[in-house]
Structure 1
Amino acid sequence: MQGVQGAAIAAGSRAGLEEGARTADPALHALCVLARTHRIAADPATLAHQLGCSPGKGADIDLLLRAARHLAVRQRAEIKLRTFPFTRYGTVGAAAVRTVTADAVNDERRGANGTPGNDTLEGLAGNDTLNAGAAEDVMSGGAGNDMYVVDTAGDVVIESANEGIDTVASSVSWALGANIEHLWLTGQDNINATGNELANVLTANAGDNILDGAGGIDTASYHYSAAAVTVSLTATGAQVTGGSGTDTLLNIERLLGSSHNDTLTGNAGANILTGGAGNDTLDGGAGNDTLIGGAGNDTYRMARGHGRDTIIEDDATAGNKDVVQFASGITADQLWFRQVGNNLEVSIIGTEDKLTLNSWYAGSGYHVEEFRTSDGHVLIDTQVQNLVQAMASFSPQAAGSVTATPLDDQARLVPTLAPPLWG
């Protein structure tokens, strides 16, 4: 074994070093980076498995170990682990000691960066970030929610089942391997993302992307878009998103918007549309959809044939105004309001279509502030309960009807339906 100053260190002996040490034994793949003055202890019986660092004065760092293709940070009980860099000291026999950067906090988070060579990076338990660097690298995060940064098509990412929610951040076209949930396209190049059989989240970059969820229930995410996007799951080819290039969505069931004013539209499936921050417009289309506006003044569209949609609102911001907008041909007297548990249901008379506003009765933060009809009427949230109570004494008309009540009951409801409830 050699010190950085070239002095020989025999196995089982000790020597003080200022910066670091490297081994001359090709069976040992280890790198110890020292803070101030440390002593290195090598036991012949365990040399191929660990390299011990005895702390010197003022030392905070104990050991970085990479042996038998494992990367770990070990600490003495009295030493606090801190973030520190690991520096390359060249090769050991036929194997290379690569440049890595470890970040260990309470032995829970570990990371490594590869170099231009072909690296093998391995994490242990904890939420690791493994950065392949250039060339073709092999990365395995182990248990925990791991992040893999790749920039070469030849990189290999290995994950086992039930070992956390893992993400690949890629600057090249990438197809997820087994047991990896999320794929984030980085940069501005025109690259593509392909999912696997899991419920994947595929995040677009600023370029033109093909996002193919493959199997599973998958989400196309525009979370990092620099501007508002307009995205529809009904489009069968490339669509101009406005804020995130021209994208093609295949086998996608869910959409996640940006922090801007997005317009998201579903298809005939059971979609989940999530607006995020910004003043978003969400239209589930046919199928039983879930619409989640998030922060901002959001608009939810509802039409005949849209099925049974659920709105999830949770925004108590003062002055916030979320709106349900009913499509052309739906008038105020064709809507039926009722309380079901903690939820508010709004049905279109004579159809199977309805909106469920989740947790409406749990507080005003779960409300939309206005219901608007195509004939220009507006019902504000503070008047909804009066309408619910009035309609509770009647039964809605059967399928095929176009108004809320039979003719002999309409006169009793007119005062309720008229202003000030419906403006």
Structure 2
Amino acid sequence: MSGDGDDIVDGGAGNDTIEGDDGNDSLSGGDGIDTLYGNDDNDTLRGNDGDDSLNGGNGDDTLIGGAGADAINGDAGTGWASYIDSTVGVTADISGGVAGTNDALGDTYTNIENLRGTLYGDTLYGNSGANLFWAESGDDTVYGGAGNDTIHGSNGVDTLYGDDGNDYLHGGNDNDTLTGGLGDDNLYGNAGDDTYSFDRGDGGDNIYNTGESSSNDKVSFAVGVDEDQLWFQQIGNDLRARIIGTNDFVQIKDWYVGTDNRLDFEVSDGSDLVAADVQNLVNAMASFSVPAVGDTELSDTFSGQDLTDLNNAITANWT
């Protein structure tokens, strides 16, 4: 057992039992089947090779199982399962529903809320809690699962799914795809040519398109959402694109503050609305009330010249 203070303990070869105490300890099991206990404060536990048992204790602990089938237990604190030391990408699921690969093969998770990937291409899955993910480098795919999750991409072409809950998705430095899923989500593309995917039933998502001015970013609507089912409005400094007949919308934050915040729109048949033409539809639709919930076609609300004018504006600006 280590003493008080910030200790560094390396068990070396053999089957070790190492227990931290007060302080931010760094405990390494080395080779063999090791059992590590962090106890108080914010500890880092490394199992390295072998089928190890890592137990964080109190505090915000980082648990790095390494090779082998490891039992990773965050205990009472906020537990991170981390694969940052791995030399190849992993599949890791802290809910236990998907089998792990490489250094995550055979790993089990208890009281783990947060997951950090490798520097390579990973597939990461959350559980029903409020999870925090760091995907790190590589082309990663992350599924938040149920709960209000926060997902960070990094370098690499990342595909991020918030799934259920009110999630925060952060793209990173390359060409990422962000899908909030069910719930009211906040999506941050950052650098690169990013795609924000949206479907019926996804709720109200905020998009913070704050990447490079040269980026070719877009909102992509799922199959079944056509260009004549989208209603464009100015809401303060924001642009809102609503799926008519529903309460589902994407809101592009600070659209009217600067052109760097703007992006294009596409629907599944390949039709596009470029950012420069969006205001034409905002102006055309500003003369009318938004169709009521349940009116999923323009003809459910409008007729005669009003319907003709709206359809002409849509046809002229979507290509």
Match of 2:277, SS?
helix
User: Within 5 A, what are the aligned runs for 1:353-372?
Assistant: 353-367=248-262, 369-372=263-266
Alignment partner, residue 99 of structure 2 = none
The match for 2:131 among 207, 218, 229 is 218
Q: For 1:121 and 1:390, how far apart are their aligned partners in 2?
A: 67
Residue by residue over 1:57-83, the C-alpha shift from the partner in whole angstroms, topping out at 9 and shown as x without a partner, is xxxxxxxxx9xx323xxxxxxxxxxxx
What residue ranges of structure 2 are gaps of 5+ in the alignment?
Answer: 87-101
Per the alignment, residue 227 of structure 2 pairs with: 332
C-alpha offsets along residues 225-264 of structure 1, whole Å, 9 cap, x if unaligned?
x4x234556xxxxxxxxxxxxxxx7989555445222333
Please name the residue that 1:394 is paired with: 288
CA distance in 1, matches of 2:278, 2:308: 20
- 1:194-213 correspondence to structure 2 within 5 Å: 194-196=109-111, 200-205=113-118, 213=127
Counting matched residue pairs gives 286
Residue correspondence of structure 1 range 313-324 to structure 2 within 5 A: 313-315=209-211, 317-324=212-219
Identity of aligned residues (%): 30
1:148 maps to which residue? 44
Given candidates 159, 170, 180, the residue that maps to 1:284 is: 180
Q: 1:157 to 1:373 in 2, by over 3 A?
A: closer
Q: Which residue identity lines up with residue 178 of structure 1 in the other structure?
A: A
Mapping 1:9-408, distance limit 5 Å: 69-71=3-5, 112-116=8-12, 119-122=18-21, 124=23, 128=24, 130-134=26-30, 136-140=35-39, 142=41, 146-151=42-47, 153-160=52-59, 165-171=60-66, 172-185=70-83, 186-187=85-86, 188-189=102-103, 190-192=105-107, 194-196=109-111, 200-205=113-118, 213=127, 216-224=129-137, 226=138, 228-232=139-143, 255-315=151-211, 317-367=212-262, 369-398=263-292, 399-403=294-298, 406-407=302-303, 408=305
| Pair member with larger Rg | 1
SS of structure 1 residue aligned to 2:78: coil
Q: Indicate the structure with greater helix content.
A: 2
Determine the C-alpha separation between the residues in 2 that align with 1:372 and 1:212: 29
Distance 2:286 2:146 in 1: 45
- Whole-Å separation in 2 of the counterparts to 1:277 and 1:182: 24
CA RMSD, aligned part only? 3.6
CA gap 1:253/1:285 in 2 versus in 1, 3 angstroms = same
Q: Give distance in 1, aligned partners of 2:220 and 2:274.
A: 12
Amino acid of the structure 2 residue aligned with 1:381: A
CA drift at 1:397: 1.8
Q: Distance in 2 between matches of 1:329 and 1:213?
A: 29
Q: Return the offset for 1:336.
A: 0.8
What is the SS of the residue equivalent to 1:282? strand
Cα gap change, 1:389/1:251 in structure 2, threshold over 3 Å: closer, same or farther? closer
In structure 2, C-alpha distance between the alignment counterparts of 1:400 and 1:223, rounded to whole Å: 44
TM-score (norm: length of structure 2): 0.72
Per the normalisation by structure 1, the TM-score is: 0.57
2:97 aligned partner: none
